[in-house]
Amino acid sequence: LPHKLDELIGAFPRVVTAELNSGHLSQMLRSTFLKDIGTISQITGQPFKVGDLKAALTQALGS
């Protein structure tokens, strides 16, 4: 993992990952840093559509 990633993650009240898998990165971050990490995952073999990602982030962050 990148140097000082713990400081970066700790600087934000909420962290969300967008992943084109079943949430492997968020699981690793949760177990490494013991912080609740939100996950937006998609397993379709296609990239995220901007509108879908925006809607999911808005919902996940409560904005």
pLDDT score for 62: 84
Q: Answer whether residue 47 shows pLDDT above 70.
A: yes
The parent domain of residue 46 ranges over 5-61
The identity of residue 29, as a single letter, is L
DSSP 36: -
Q: Answer whether residue 3 shows pLDDT above 70.
A: yes
Average pLDDT score over residue span 2-20: 95
Tally of domains in the chain: 1
DSSP 6: H
Q: Answer whether residue 63 shows pLDDT above 70.
A: no
Count of C-beta atoms within a 10 Å radius of residue 41: 15
pLDDT digits (tens, 9 = 90+) for 12-44: 999 999 999 999 999 999 999 999 999 999 999
**pTM confidence score:** 0.83
Residue 18 to residue 39: CA distance in whole angstroms:
6
